[in-house]
Amino acid sequence: MNVLFLTLLSFESIQERTIYTDLLREFVYNGHDVYVISPVEKRQNVKTHMIKEDHASILRLQIGNTQKTNIIEKGISTVMIEPSFKNAIRKYYGDVRFDLVLYSTPPITLVSAVEYVKKRDNARTFLLLKDIFPQNAVDLGMMSTSGLKGILYKHFRRKEKRLYAVSDNIGCMSQANVDYVVKHNSEVDSSRIFEFPNCIDIVDKSVNDLTRIQIRNKYGIPNDKKVFVYGGNLGKPQGIEFLVDCLEKCKDSDAFFLIVGDGTEYSVLEQFINQEKPVNVKLMRRLPKTDYDTMVGACDVGMIFLDHRFTIPNFPSRLLSYMQAKLPVFAVTDSNTDIGKVIVDNGFGWWSESNDSEHFKAIVEDILHFDDQNIGQKAYECLQSRYDVKKVFAEKISLL
């Protein structure tokens, strides 16, 4: 089977370790040929080129600048993504007939490229639904369903519906995602929508006591504190202002909070630390994935934050990094996602709604006195049973 993966993620090898490359390797391991289009922005001064691997071809397609640029250039570049992908398929993969097209959200702007390959090759199409746009933007106040902003919302909502319509199957991250899509898109046959969770090629990232001390010393993390780590994007979806409120509430706690990442709200955390100078908080910029995964293993509790306003059920993939390191997890989210339910029901962590910093503080204090040594192992066992890419591939790809 020839498999085409369309993405706006930038990568140069399917040997990289992400939820997408791990899945693509499974296709190769099972005897299929994988073809990828992965963009590189013009500002990087890298021309379009092809990377060949064993049973995999990655087209690094030069597109316009959509990041670190002005709004006009960003807008033009975004509009041109669809025709650029279609032209690239014609030019570089014109002699390949695809049996399956994979693509993920974000974004929803590749729909015409998917339609083109589906019509040309009579290919099956499979959407990996990783966010629900534009409703997530409405939840955060970035769009509106009415007024001037409503025009933009309606445009993207039409594209969203078009993407669902062209997709033979829609894989959702959790059951709550399945239920949401079915409820709000009655025109889509519900039998085409099923759970296809974030999954990885599992590697034990836990560390022994000596390594834990060495890593903590390297990064200036205290050895005599229980360390709560948050790693990932620091943007509007994570409700960073609420995170700051939680850190403020816990400034006298014996807990130590390690925040690692980048994003539009990084400066909010930075300003809080510069002004309040909390002794139990450390803020770091994003690390290379290997270094980050090792550092997570030296911590005690992984944290997940989501803005309380979300009506859509997000399911952040950073959960898997914590589980792989055998950490218990504390999810602080809206009430619509089921990530907290998964964590609590499987016995490897805690959940609090992300609008009550006092409750957050109370749970932190409970965790400080919690002595179940097996809870991290429960996280790892749940990872093996639910989020192993080999199992998910074997169980779900046959449904396509």
Question: Based on the domain organization, do 81 and 215 belong to the same domain?
Answer: no
Per-residue pLDDT band at 53 (split at 50, 70, 90): very high
- The share of the chain scoring above pLDDT 90, in percent, equals 77
Looking at per-residue pLDDT, the higher value among 216 and 71 belongs to: 216
Cα separation, 367 vs 223, in Å, equals 17
Strand partners, 100: 3, 124
Structural domain boundaries, residue 366: 209-386
Q: Is the pLDDT of residue 73 over 80?
A: no
Clarify whether residues 162 and 288 are in a common domain.
no
Q: What is the pTM of this model?
A: 0.91
Do 300 and 228 sit in the same domain of this protein? yes
pLDDT greater than 70 at residue 47:
yes
pLDDT at 44: 83
Tell me the average pLDDT of the chain: 92
pLDDT at 304: 97
Shared domain for 274 and 161, answered yes or no, is no
pLDDT at residue number 68: 66
Q: Find the angle CA(59)-CA(62)-CA(63) to the nearest 5 degrees.
A: 125
pLDDT at 70 over 90: no
pLDDT of 82 above 90: no
* Domains identified in the chain, total number: 2
Tell me, yes or no, whether 257 and 142 share the same domain: no
Q: What is the pLDDT of residue 185?
A: 94
Q: Which whole number is the average pLDDT over 210-226?
A: 94
- Indicate whether 43 pLDDT > 90: no
118 plus 234 within the same structural domain: no
Residues 152 and 282 in one domain: no
Instruction: Write the pLDDT tens digit of every residue in 136-162.
Output: 989 898 888 888 878 888 988 998 999
Question: Looking at the structure, do residues 316 and 393 belong to the same domain, yes or no?
Answer: no
Residues 182 and 300 in one domain: no
Amino acid found at 225: K
User: Average pLDDT, stretch 340-362?
Assistant: 96
Confidence of residue 126 (pLDDT cuts 50, 70, 90): very high
Residues 242, 196, single domain; the answer is no
pLDDT, average across residues 160-169: 94
Question: Mean of the pLDDT values across residues 198-204?
Answer: 95
Same domain, 303 and 380: yes
> What pLDDT does 400 receive?
75
- Amino acid, res. 53: E
Are residues 144 and 243 both part of a single domain?
Answer: no
**Mean pLDDT in residue range 371-394:** 93
CATH classification at residue 338 = 3.40.50.2000
